[in-house]
Structure 1
Amino acid sequence: MEHIRQQSQQREREILASWATFSDSIRGRDVPEEECPIRTPFQRDRDRIIHCNSFRRLMHKTQVFLFPQGDHYRTRLTHTLEVGQVARTIARGLRLNEDLTEAIAMGHDLGHTPFGHAGEYALSECASFPFVHSVQSVRIVERLERDGAGLNLTWEVRDGILCHSSRHRWAATPEGKVVRFADKIAYMNHDIDDAVRAGILSEEDLPWEVRYRLGRTKGERITTLITSIIQNSGDGQVEMGAQDLSCYQTLRDFLFQTVYHDPRAKGEEGKAKEIIRRLFEYLMAHPDRLPEDYRRTREEEGNERAVVDYISSMSDRYCVTVFEDFFIPKPWGF
């Protein structure tokens, strides 16, 4: 069966651009292991991410809107899938490695907290060290998944996950750079879609230069930005055209002013942050209430690290359930 993987890797050499990342020349894994006879290393990494517990929890984690009334608002999982779609389209247009691109995209937000960025900010305020979701994503795949064994992913995938955020350097691979752009293209456009659904704004409220240059619909804007990257990238560089980048930044600034800081969208964030703050304080004072899964972390890295790992892993609804269990009185049984 090994020839199946080898054939896939040979096709990479025949089809992909010379500056793509080839799966037969990876930097390796922290723990060496035998190759899969069918899948390339990057295909294997993608599958490990999709089948892990942290990936499944994304379906119940907030993207932007906390506890929205309706079935069609994005969650952290649907955001991840949309990032993967945008990233693969760009990678295909540039003849880059789609498997590596998809693996990075599927893993980029594994470390996100409950309640979106509000949870991230709350944990940073509580802990003695800054909480950064991209760093936590790498921690999950290296140390926390599989009962502490980690997923043993390739270096290229882990580097792309870490560097998808603008808080870090650019990724070492062009595929990682593609995911960084795809993340922003996806979230800005689906957040507009959700904000329109919520009645916070309309498509006509977008800045005129954005509508003129990028398009009047979500599909038009995504296509314009993807096309701009494909047309302006090459030889190791992944870039967006100057005019399109300017419009993208204008749109981003507009969304921060009208959506991300809008009291109707973010009105419950204070409550969410208070839940996380109180859970953190309680678990720091009562480490015996931590699940057994986090005992090893407590012993090796201290209670604070274990508490942060536990809270950040929670889905929104599980976080509320734990809070109620700790702080809300229950009826007596007779």
Structure 2
Amino acid sequence: MENILSVRNLSTYFYMDEGVVAAVDDVSFDLAPREVLGIVGETGSGKSVTVKSIMRLIKFPGKIVNGEIIYKGQDILKLDEKDMYKIRGKEISMVFQDPMTSLNPLYTIGDQLIETIIQHQKVSKEEAFKRAVEMLSLVQIPEPEKRMRSYPFEFSGGMRQRVVIAIALSCNPSILIADEPTTALDVTIQAQILDLMKSLQQKLGTAMIFITHDLGVIASMAHRIIVMYGGKQMEMGSANDVFYNPTHPYTHMLLRSIPRIDRKIDRLEPIPGQPPRMIDIPKVCPFLPRCPRNVEECNQRIPEFVEISPGHFVRCFNPVGGGK
């Protein structure tokens, strides 16, 4: 099956007064139709910058310095802003962390849905209104026609996030990017939103990139997983590969630091040390100072991102289990 999105050697740097931040450094992956790709990692690992680069939402002092983002056969990094505008929101949509910052408090929910639909679908206001009501119903907003007249402040956090999802899906995008969409919600509502997104993704057949720092969330959502650290891909593979055969020391330690019902241990094992300072980061593995498996070669250069079994990639000179 032909991939709907191919990211090749993507690098996005931020040029600060203190130095250069390599927020995303040489990231490559594919996304197939109907697939859910999860990207996990600590805060500052480069997850959000990766997807914002795909949407071309990087602002000064950030700059995409290298790579290709091939969407349906064309490199969207080479498109002018007018052509990118036609893709952003219609072909590729995004759900952000905090629904309150995604919705304009001065306009009704209905106005914001209708505006998006008219902009991208070129339909009449009556048709857009009908479509907006359908979308609110689809994301399980009760009395959708009545709630079209409500303002964002009249909705709870969970209801607002449902509206943001409705707006993102209103133009039938080929790809939905969800950037930690449940972070601002309490645990009970998180589960509801995740169930909703999973069922809508399956029903509509939309490909999805799901960003989170929560491994429990990604386990229930993703077909394949990318583990990022210090702006780089550390490991990539199927959900089974990453959860049951982790080969990068970071992935291995990350999984041992969280509670899991499929593994009985007396105590959790925190990862020692601190995440890297990203300004002018040394040209070695960013996990090196925290890694218990480092070898002499680790101090000399960055390991290549290599395929150790079909579809399973790792960036490490001394992987867990030898990478077999």
More helix, by proportion: 1
Common fold: TM-score over 0.5: no
Task: Give the structure-2-normalised TM-score.
Answer: 0.29
More strand, by proportion: 2
